Amino acid sequence: MNRQRAEEIVQTGDIKHVTYEGERVYIQRVDEHNETARIYPLDDPQKEMDVPLTQLVEKLL
């Protein structure tokens, strides 16, 4: 996923169909300097992690 699209998703606050390693996640914020995103799995909000934006996939419904 590119940084601009990730930032758009964060700004809307909507839950989109975004996955990380096949698991649906919520994007909390984007770090533009490191090209990473702070995410957590939808079914486990306590499991926050920073991941490369390139590892996020948005499925358009």
User: How do residues 7-60 score in pLDDT, each as one tens digit?
Assistant: 999 999 888 999 999 999 999 999 999 999 999 999 999 999 999 999 999 998
> Which range of residues forms the domain containing residue 27?
3-58
Report the number of distinct structural domains present in the chain.
1
Residue length, the chain? Answer: 61
Q: Which H helix or E strand runs over 18? A: strand 18-20
| Distance in angstroms (rounded) separating the CA atoms of residues 56 and 39 | 10
| Distance in angstroms (rounded) separating the CA atoms of residues 44 and 22 | 14
Residue-level pLDDT at 15 = 83
